[in-house]
Amino acid sequence: MAQTEPVTAVIVGGGHRAIIYGDYSLKHPDELKIVGIADPMAERREMAMKRYGFPAENCFASAQELAQRPKFADAVINGTMDHQHFETSVPLLEKGYDMLLEKPFAVSEEEMQKLLAVIHANGSKVMICHVLRYTPFYRAVKRRILSGELGDIINIQMAEHVSYHHLSTSYVRGKWANSDVCKTSMLLAKSCHDIDIMMWLMGSVRPKTVTSAGSIFQFRPENAPKDAGTRCLVDCPLADTCRYSAKKLYFEHPNRWECYVWADLEHGENVTDEDRWNSLLKSPYGRCIYKCDNNVVDHQSVLVNFENGATGTHNMIGGSARSARIIHIIGTKGELEGVFEDNAITVRIIDADEESGFRTESVDLSEAEAEGHGGGDDALTADFVRYIRTGEQSISCTAIDNSVAGHLTVFNADRSRENGGAPVYCDFSKYEGSPD
């Protein structure tokens, strides 16, 4: 019988992502109730306790400590960092918790296999936060494919343009810049969403081989301007002219990527310009963009060869003026194209009777636009609640087995890139479940 009481959940890793999902409980208290937190940061535990109104006894210093306590909620919302997903999830899954788990759910194929084994052994319901699947834009694309009007997909072209300020904040200066520290590649951290979308749109057709190439094109020490210092606000004469200067990017635009750039100030009250300036004097975000410890690529291209002969490409390019996700699908009966940020798609259906040779339909999805990943964050949390209550999966639902094809394709793309672009075979024989 479907559960009618709110689903109860403990937040594990109370960073900005988990709080976004947790806040669904404030808007829909009849559906979700946050009843505890595990996080090593005392300020974050305190904040969550006040925000959601649970007792201090439900605060834990880590996922591992939470796992020592008898299970007291239906689920866990795991918003720890990428390389912590495995170690924080396993003891809680073994305790019987279901889970909403951030992407990437594992940082290597080996971790992925071990995590799946634990989940299957415990019969856990685990959903991965592929928020794009829940946006009106990608849902519209998926529905068009399911309707059959495009025919069989011959080719999917996808691109993700990562803006210059996003690239420099997250992948040159920030948390996902050095794979020795964060354990992820840029493709895994950024485009596992896009590759997941490609797999979702291809339905049950699996990738056969993957090839990939990429490099660090821009931000290397040898590309630094001659006079550049090491820290923008300390020793650089170019602080007012360099487009990547921390003064221009962050100090003069304090709302830009604030959850990362001002993380050290997030619990301060009445944060001033002086506080922000002082933060940039010492934080990673005040470093010269050309003199960081970044080792992840800033652009990468992926070519997927599917088992039925269809092909898909994904180009991730960091450093663009504007952030954009672009898609163009060509099927045997028609084609679809659109830009996620424009919230519109165009469908062209082959029609030999028309003078142009096709019929065109333009669809404006902006009416459906909402906060957070184009409306995806809340829709995903709502679907998670439904999945926990009923076990039913919507067309967007990314139960973990549905996320395997995307993760495996990303792992293999990175293997190919590291091996000079050699094709890597996607071996699904080790995995149960459906790839869509």
Binding site for ligand NAD (CB under 6 A): 12-17, 38-41, 44, 62-63, 79-82, 84, 88, 102-103, 129, 131, 189, 373
**Minimum CB–partner distance for residue 373 and ligand NAD (Å):** 6
Cβ(312)–Cβ(133) below 8 Å: no
Least distance (Å) between residue 282 CB and ligand NAD: 18
Give 78 or 218: the residue with its C-beta nearer to ligand NAD.
Answer: 78
| Torsion angle of the four alpha carbons 187, 193, 197, 203, in this order, in degrees rounded to the nearest 10 | 90
Closest distance of CB 62 from ligand NAD, Å:
4
> Could you tell me the smallest distance in angstroms from the CB atom of residue 369 to ligand NAD?
17
Give the distance from CA 305 to its chain's centroid.
Answer: 23
Closest CB 362 distance from ligand NAD, rounded Å: 28
- Distance set, CA 175 to CA 170, 180, 267 (Å): 6, 11, 19
Measured from the CB atom, the residue of 129 and 141 that comes closer to ligand NAD is 129
Phi, psi of 131 (to 5 degrees): -60, -25
Phi-psi region of 408 (alpha: psi -120 to 50; beta: other; left: phi over 0): alpha
8 vs 230, which CB is nearer to ligand NAD?
Answer: 8
Q: Which is nearer to ligand NAD, 190 or 276 (CB)?
A: 190
From residue 219, how far is each of 45, 53, 216, 225 by CA, in Å?
37, 45, 7, 11
CB atoms within 10 A of CB 64: 15
Query: In terms of C-beta density within 10 A (0-12 exposed, 13-18 middle, 19 or more buried), how is residue 413 classed?
Result: buried
Pairing between strand 153-163 and 324-331? Answer: antiparallel
Single-letter amino acid, residue 433: G
Using CB positions, name the residue nearest to ligand NAD. 15
For ligand NAD, the closer of residues 41 and 363 by Cβ is 41
Instruction: Compute the least distance from the CB of residue 307 to ligand NAD, in Å.
Output: 28
Smallest distance from the beta carbon of 193 to ligand NAD, in angstroms?
6
DSSP assignments along 389-406, one per residue? HH----SS--BGGGGHHH
Residue 119 Cβ vs ligand NAD, minimum distance, rounded to whole Å: 18
Sheet holding 207-215, edge to edge: 358-364, 344-350, 334-339, 324-331, 153-163, 311-320, 299-306, 207-215, 424-425
Nearer to ligand NAD, 134 or 306 (CB): 134
| 3-class DSSP assignment, residue 160 | strand
Closer by beta carbon to ligand NAD, 103 or else 206: 103
